[in-house]
């Protein structure tokens, strides 16, 4: 393209004025781990954060087919556990992919040792691979820590689509071109090249790499297959399945779907609070009322043990959605208030107060009672203006409610806001 004179000018966004994103600083810790460079970025309209993957076609001519394949797969394959594609550009000199804002997984593993978060991450990557292998008949072929990223909530998302191939139509013959390909290659690939995968089960290479991922997550740096026999740091209830994932004989290797299925059984690795709570939230629309009631009670009891970011940016939005659209009932309010206490004032106003205002207007006695009973835990966050203009008029209807418990709770709650309400005396006199 004649309008594109240098890659550096593209990074500054000067030669593609119609492209709706700005490219910011390069993530230096990601350099050398992939054929891509990773940058922070922002959307020009609104300033929302994004991530930008850049590939220089002139500097990596021998790897351009890998980049083109990744770009194609980003655009055409979607799943909640795959890194979400937003936009992209491909020219003769560069390929440029914009995704939701993420950080390399290695950063999380370096600073956070939360085992529940690791298990939830492994579940999500396994879920993505199960979808690719079983539902799409696709090999990922490049599963490793450098292909996984974390979103704002700390959840893992799979990328690294350079080798992604449908064995019905394609052959992953470019496998030797990815960074550190020999280190991560399975025994059968090392012996007979990538073409051998055409004669194997669809999942054998991904299972092998998933096993290495487990090793890396719990042991740190992986350098050769000789290390895989060291299972001392692998969780006890994962060791049998892990050993089957890294079986040298591909015919004995465990599939990703079997690994997940085993992990979800009683006593399995995915039978822990964080995984089960996230799975429940993802499927809450099909749950029965009694199940939801028990779930929210349990959630409120264990939420203090979860990582703060996953509470704020994954669990909280799901709870607010359940509260606003009626799928959660009154039980959902206590965990919302508990998570809300970790937010700064701006976040609290945008997320919690907005939801509370909406809920006071809902003519549901169980929700109203829950709001009144929990008022003391969020009253200090409400401005006098919000109370007077948006809450009190709804709250005051409780004085004449036909349910005694609502009238009683309303009277008790008024004591908490009496100093904030301008017209309370006038209202009470008119009511009487």
Residue-by-residue DSSP string for 119-171: HHHHHHHHHHHHIIIIIH-EE----SGGGEEE-TT--EEE--GGG-EETTT--
- Topology of the domain covering 282-431: 1.25.10
3-state secondary structure at position 56: strand
Could you name the CATH architecture of 103-263? Orthogonal Bundle (1.10)
In 220-315, where does DSSP find H-type helix? 239-245, 256-263, 273-282, 289-302, 308-310
Distance of CA 351 to the CA centre of its chain: 19
**CB neighbours of 76 closer than 8 A, spacing ≥ 6?**
none
424 vs 415: CA distance, rounded Å: 11
Residues of the chain with CATH 1.25.10.10: 282-431
β-strand pairing of 138-139 with 94-100: unpaired
**Residues ≥6 apart with Cβ < 8 Å to 90:** 68, 71, 96
Residue 331: DSSP 8-state: G
- Sign for the pseudo-dihedral over CA of 136, 138, 142, 144: positive
The residues, any chain, with a CB within 8 Å of residue 171's CB and separated by 6 or more, are 165, 194, 195, 197, 198
Neighbours of 230 (CB within 10 A): 10
Query: Which DSSP string do the residues of 186-197 spell out, in sequence order?
Result: -HHHHHH-GGGG
pLDDT in tens, the chain (432 residues): 333 334 444 444 455 667 899 999 999 999 999 999 999 999 999 999 999 999 999 999 999 999 999 999 999 999 999 999 999 999 888 899 999 999 999 999 998 778 999 999 999 999 999 999 999 999 999 999 999 999 999 999 999 999 998 876 665 555 656 666 788 989 988 888 777 777 889 999 999 999 999 999 999 989 999 999 999 999 999 999 999 999 999 999 999 999 999 999 999 999 999 999 999 999 888 888 889 889 998 999 999 999 999 999 999 999 988 887 766 677 888 899 999 989 999 999 988 999 899 889 888 898 899 999 999 989 989 998 999 999 988 998 998 999 999 999 999 998 888 877 765 555 554 554
- What is the distance in angstroms between the CA of the first residue and the CA of the last residue of the chain? 79
**Residue 54 forms beta bridges with which residues?**
37, 96
CATH 1.10.510.10 residue spans of the chain: 103-263
CATH number of 7-100: 3.30.200.20
Place of tokens 């109203």: 368
Assign 3-state DSSP to the chain and report helix, strand, coil percentages, each to 5: 60, 10, 30
């Amino acid at each position: 393209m004649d309008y594109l004179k240098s890659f550096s000018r593209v990074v500054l966004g000067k030669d593609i004025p119609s492209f709706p994103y700005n490219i910011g600083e390069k993530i230096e810790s990601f350099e050398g781990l992939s054929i891509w460079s990773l940058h922070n970025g922002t959307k020009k309209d609104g300033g929302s954060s994004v991530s930008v993957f850049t590939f220089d076609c002139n500097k990596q001519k021998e790897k351009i087919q890998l980049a083109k394949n990744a770009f194609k797969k980003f655009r055409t394959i979607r799943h909640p556990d795959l890194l979400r594609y937003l936009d992209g550009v491909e020219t003769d000199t560069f390929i440029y992919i914009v995704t939701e804002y993420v950080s390399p997984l290695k950063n999380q593993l370096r600073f956070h040792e939360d085992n529940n978060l690791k298990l939830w991450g492994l579940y999500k990557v396994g879920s993505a691979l199960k979808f690719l292998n079983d539902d799409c008949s696709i090999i990922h072929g490049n599963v490793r820590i450098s292909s996984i990223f974390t979103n704002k909530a700390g959840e893992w998302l799979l990328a690294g689509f350079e080798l992604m191939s449908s064995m019905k139509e394609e052959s992953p013959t470019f496998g030797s071109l990815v960074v550190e390909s020999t280190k991560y290659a399975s025994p059968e690939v090392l012996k007979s090249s990538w073409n051998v995968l055409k004669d194997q089960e669809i999942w054998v290479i991904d299972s092998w790499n998933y096993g290495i991922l487990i090793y890396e997550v719990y042991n740190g740096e992986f350098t050769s297959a000789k290390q895989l026999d060291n299972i001392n740091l692998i969780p006890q209830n994962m060791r049998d399945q892990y050993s089957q994932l890294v079986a040298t004989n591909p015919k004995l290797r465990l599939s990703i779907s079997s690994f997940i299925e085993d992990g979800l059984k009683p006593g399995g690795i995915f039978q822990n609070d964080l995984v089960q709570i996230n799975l429940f939230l993802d499927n809450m629309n099909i749950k029965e009322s009694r199940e939801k009631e028990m779930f929210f009670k349990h959630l409120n009891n264990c939420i203090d043990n979860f990582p703060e970011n996953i509470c704020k940016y994954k669990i909280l939005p799901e709870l607010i959605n359940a509260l606003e659209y009626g799928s959660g009932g009154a039980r959902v309010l206590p965990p919302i208030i508990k998570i809300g206490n970790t937010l700064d004032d701006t976040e609290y106003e945008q997320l919690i107060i907005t939801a509370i205002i909406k809920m006071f207007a809902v003519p549901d006695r169980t929700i109203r009672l829950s709001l009144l009973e929990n008022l003391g835990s969020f009253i200090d966050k409400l401005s006098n203006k919000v109370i007077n203009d948006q809450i009190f008029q709804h709250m005051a209807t409780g004085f004449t409610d036909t349910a005694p418990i609502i009238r009683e709770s309303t009277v008790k709650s008024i004591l908490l806001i009496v100093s904030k309400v301008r017209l309370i005396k006038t209202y009470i006199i008119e009511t009487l």
